[in-house]
Amino acid sequence: MSTILTAARALTSQGIVENPILTLEDGRIAHISTRESSETPAGAKHFPNATITPALFDVHLHGAANHDVMEANPTALSAVASFLATRGVGQFLPTTVTAPIDATLQALSGLADIIEGPAQPGQARPVGVHLEGPFVSHSKRGVHAAALIQPPSVDLFDRFYEASRGHIRLLTIAPEEPGALDVIRRAAEKGVRVSVGHSNATLAETDAAIALGAVSATHTFNAMRALDHREPGVLGAVLDRDVLFAELICDGVHVAPELVRLWLKAKGPHRGILVTDGISATGMPEGTYILGDFEVTVANGRATARGVLAGSVLTLDKAIENVRAFTGTSLATAVGLASTNPATMLGLEAPVIAEGQLANLNLFTDDGKLLATCMGGAFLA
């Protein structure tokens, strides 16, 4: 059975197509045409003021729907993945938080089981793990537990990598810590992308990490050495070095709109990455929730623990809406920040709208509001 979609435009692999007709069959995009070249079949779903986009990709996500990814069991990950799909996310990296070593090893093993399992209809797909911690700076640890932070160690990284059965795709590390450069070298050798973050690094220390293979920055501006005009530090490197991708939490809480604009000017449309850093409270009422093994309080849109911000309750579709509002950038650019760029950073195939590709699609208004989501050719309620 076919599903036919029409809209004002579509962001396809060949560029923007005006007045598109998409035919979906067996969960894939079977045909793309236009209303100028083809007659619209009866029974089509019409979205006359919408833009069809590829699904989104969140590379920094701790949980949602009252579940933390450190639970690492099918029930928890299914709840998280189902919620993400309703917000337009087709792929994600379950992201760990600094925890006891044995707990992290257990979580990595459980996540590997789920990643290696079959794709679930109507759910975002976990395609790897983002290991955030335990190799972070004490001075920029944020909410990461001080007693559980570990000095960077190749041996410990190898234990984590083996527990994940090779599914760690992204590693956050503070490059100034003793042993960090050896870990960065090892991670890069294994094809793991390295992101500098939770770091008090100088410019020179950050450049040393880049030279060894660091390719991105974790939640730019947050848990990061402040910019100084004589010692630009890690933040100066992130904003100035074109080789680096740079995450940003665009919720209006973590980063002021003025600095969102600076970030986008510095990184441009191809190196900025929108992330959520979402926790188990995402999609839930305000209250008390769990991040790893500690409690987080959510009130007035802010998640806090131990007196500091503890992730967010942002969804990636809302990040697109916010970046449009804060910067005035195009919808195509905003969507690219949350789909093409994270995939490119990881060396994965970017989600695209093209014949033969999975029908994982979103429909957005011009100002970036999510209207509808289609996963595997099926519209989600």
Residues 36 and 95 in one domain: no
Domain count, the chain: 2
Residues 43 and 182 in one domain: no
List phi, psi (to 5°) of 44. -70, 150
Residues 226 and 364 in one domain: no
Instruction: Give binding residues for Zn(2+) as ranges.
Output: 132, 198, 219
Does the pLDDT value for residue 1 go beyond 80? Answer: no
Residues 42 and 94 in one domain: no
For residue 188, give the nearest of 219, 215, 149, 151 by alpha carbon. 215
User: Helix (H, G, I), strand (E, B), or coil: what is residue 130?
Assistant: strand
- Report whether the peptide linkage leading into residue 285 is cis, meaning its omega lies within 30 degrees of zero: no
Does the pLDDT value for residue 177 go beyond 90? Answer: yes
pLDDT in tens, 4-52: 999 999 999 999 999 999 999 999 999 999 998 888 888 899 999 999 9
pLDDT of residue 381: 66
Token pair of 340, please?
């093409």
Inter-residue contact 54 to 336 (CB < 8 Å): no
Residues 192 and 284 in one domain: yes
Tell me the angle at which helices 101-115 and 74-86 cross, rounded to the nearest 10 degrees.
60
Instruction: Give binding residues as ranges.
Output: 132, 143, 198, 219, 222-223, 230, 254, 309-311
Residues 263 and 366 in one domain: no
CA distance 184 to 173: 8
In the chain, % of residues over pLDDT 90: 95
Residues 141 and 188 in one domain: yes
Length in residues, the chain: 381
CATH number of the CATH domain containing 170? 3.20.20.140
Residue numbers annotated as active site: 277
Residues 34 and 47 in one domain: yes
Residues 128 and 249 in one domain: yes
Across the chain, which distance is largest between two alpha carbons, in Å?
A: 65
Residues 241 and 115 in one domain: yes
* Helix, strand, coil % over all residues of the chain, rounded to 5: 30, 30, 40
Instruction: Give binding residues for substrate as ranges.
Output: 143, 222-223, 230, 254, 309-311
Residue-number span of the structural domain to which 123 is assigned: 56-346
Residues 373 and 252 in one domain: no
pLDDT of residue 37: 84
In angstroms, the Cα distances linking 29 to 5, 227, 338, 359, 375 are 10, 46, 21, 5, 11
pLDDT in tens, 296-329: 999 999 999 988 999 999 999 999 999 999 999 9
CATH number of the CATH domain containing 368? 2.30.40.10
Residues 214 and 301 in one domain: yes
